[in-house]
């Protein structure tokens, strides 16, 4: 198993108290698995991605562990994490359009990056050029400034850079949100190709677009209000979800072929709870059509099949 996360808790420090952005998240990621991570804004999906690579100043690691390839990730220790970043864990950030230093040529910037990790640019360069060609960029881009590249090209450049040292885990945070349909498909398919070619071992694709992640992911994990509600193979999540939240989320997706006159899509009433003082028990219960008295207690993580877990009182294994 490539990654094993146990009961991870990460809070944001604010003036009014701790915001529990991740409140007991546990999951496993197999070697070669692409996991889609989806949920509404504020459910903690980006926080989870960030926690595995770098906590920013406001984030505090409260408890839980993440073990990558048998070695624990020192989430709390910024310095110790530095040795693992880029080598073992890498990220394609949400705004990769502006992820590159605008004042340096891309080749120079890459050299800086490699030097910081004790690698020689000259040795890595043939491999770099090979990978650039793989994503349809020529060697010449190394002599360009980031501003000279189009949005789609920058995105591909950052993808190549992030995976250059063959990390074990890659976190792709909303990599396709800023692109239009045809670029979206190209970028998503490149992610799969990187996995198939062994540039990265496993991948977490953070997105709010379920229909996109369904195209490329092996498994999908749904988060709600800082907790995992369901994780299963992509087909199971889309075709026969167990958790009422997953069902509602998929029921709210429009499809090509569906028209307003035929069938009204239904939204989920209400909004997610505040994470400053989250309610006890099931966090979805205020919006859940199936809620009953039992839901005031913390729901169990029910193992429905070997690879299918859902946290709800109403599902049966």
Partner 1 sequence: MLELENVWKSYRVGSLGSKRLTAVRDVSFTIAPGEVLSVVGESGSGKTTIGKMVLQLISVSKGTIRLNGQDITAARHAQRKEYYRRVQGVFQDPFSSYNPIFKADRVLETVRESFFPGTSRSEWGDKVERTLLSVGLDPTAVRGKYPHQLSGGQLQRMLIARALLLDIEVLVADEIISMLDASTRIDVLNLLGDLKERGLGVLFVTHDLSLANYISERVIIMRHGAVVEMGATGKVFGDPRHPYSRNLLASVPQLHRKWADAPDELEELEPDGDRELAPPALTQVDEDHWAAAGS
Residue in 15, 122, 182, 316 binding partner 1, rule: CB under 8 A = 182
Query: What is the x/- site pattern for partner 1, positions 2-41, by CB under 8 A?
Result: --------------------------------------xx
> Considering only residues 89-148, where is the footprint of partner 1 by CB under 8 A?
none
Residue in 155, 184, 219, 246 binding partner 1, rule: CB under 8 A = 184
For CA atoms 187, 193, 197, 199, the dihedral sign is positive
Query: What is the x/- site pattern for partner 1, positions 258-297, by CB under 8 A?
Result: xxx---xxxxx--x--------------------------
Q: Which is nearer to partner 1, 182 or 280 (CB)?
A: 182
Q: Which is nearer to partner 1, 18 or 40 (CB)?
A: 40
Residue 278 Cβ vs partner 1, minimum distance, rounded to whole Å? 18
Q: Which is nearer to partner 1, 239 or 294 (CB)?
A: 239
Q: Which is nearer to partner 1, 38 or 141 (CB)?
A: 38
Asked if 250 touches partner 1 (CB under 8 A), the answer is yes
Residue 192 Cβ vs partner 1, minimum distance, rounded to whole Å? 8
Altogether, the residues listed in the chain come to a count of 317
Using the contact rule CB under 8 A, the part of the chain among 25-33, 68-76, 212-220, 225-233 near partner 1 is 212-220
Asked if 247 touches partner 1 (CB under 8 A), the answer is no
Asked if 79 touches partner 1 (CB under 8 A), the answer is no
Q: Which is nearer to partner 1, 268 or 302 (CB)?
A: 268
Binding-residue total with partner 1 (CB under 8 A)? 35
CB 158 within 8 A of CB 100: yes
Beta-bridge partners for 309:
231, 303
**Chain positions contacting partner 1, by CB under 8 A:** 40-41, 180-182, 184-185, 188-189, 208-212, 214-215, 238, 248-250, 252-260, 264-268, 271
């Amino acid at each position: 198993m490539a990654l094993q996360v146990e009961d991870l808790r990460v809070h944001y420090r604010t003036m009014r108290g701790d915001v529990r952005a991740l409140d007991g998240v546990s999951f496993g990621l197999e070697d070669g698995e692409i996991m889609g991570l989806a949920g509404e804004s504020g459910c903690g999906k980006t926080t989870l991605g960030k926690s595995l690579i770098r906590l920013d100043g406001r984030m505090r690691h409260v408890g839980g562990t993440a073990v990558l390839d048998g070695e624990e990730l020192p989430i709390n220790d910024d310095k110790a994490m530095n040795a693992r970043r880029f080598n073992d864990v890498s990220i394609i950030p949400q705004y990769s359009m502006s992820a590159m230093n605008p004042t340096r040529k891309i080749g120079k910037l890459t050299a800086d990056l490699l030097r910081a990790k004790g690698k020689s640019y000259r040795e890595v360069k043939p491999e770099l050029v090979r990978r650039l060609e793989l994503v349809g960029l020529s060697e010449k881009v190394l002599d360009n400034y980031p501003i000279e590249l189009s949005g789609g090209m920058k995105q591909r450049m950052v993808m190549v850079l992030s995976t250059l040292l063959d990390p074990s885990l890659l976190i792709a945070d909303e990599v396709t949100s800023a692109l239009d349909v045809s670029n979206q498909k190209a970028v998503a398919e490149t992610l799969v190709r990187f996995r198939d070619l062994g540039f990265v071992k496993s991948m977490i694709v953070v997105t709010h677009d379920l229909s996109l992640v369904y195209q490329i992911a092996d498994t999908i994990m749904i988060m709600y209000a800082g907790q995992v509600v369901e994780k299963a193979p992509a087909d199971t999540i889309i075709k026969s979800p167990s958790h009422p939240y997953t069902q509602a989320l998929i029921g709210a997706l429009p499809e090509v072929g569906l028209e307003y006159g035929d069938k009204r899509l239904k939204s989920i009433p209400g909004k997610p709870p505040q994470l400053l003082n989250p309610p006890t028990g099931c966090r979805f219960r205020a919006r859940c059509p199936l809620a009953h008295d039992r839901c005031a207690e913390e729901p169990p993580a029910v193992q429905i099949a070997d690879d299918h877990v859902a946290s709800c009182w109403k599902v049966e294994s």
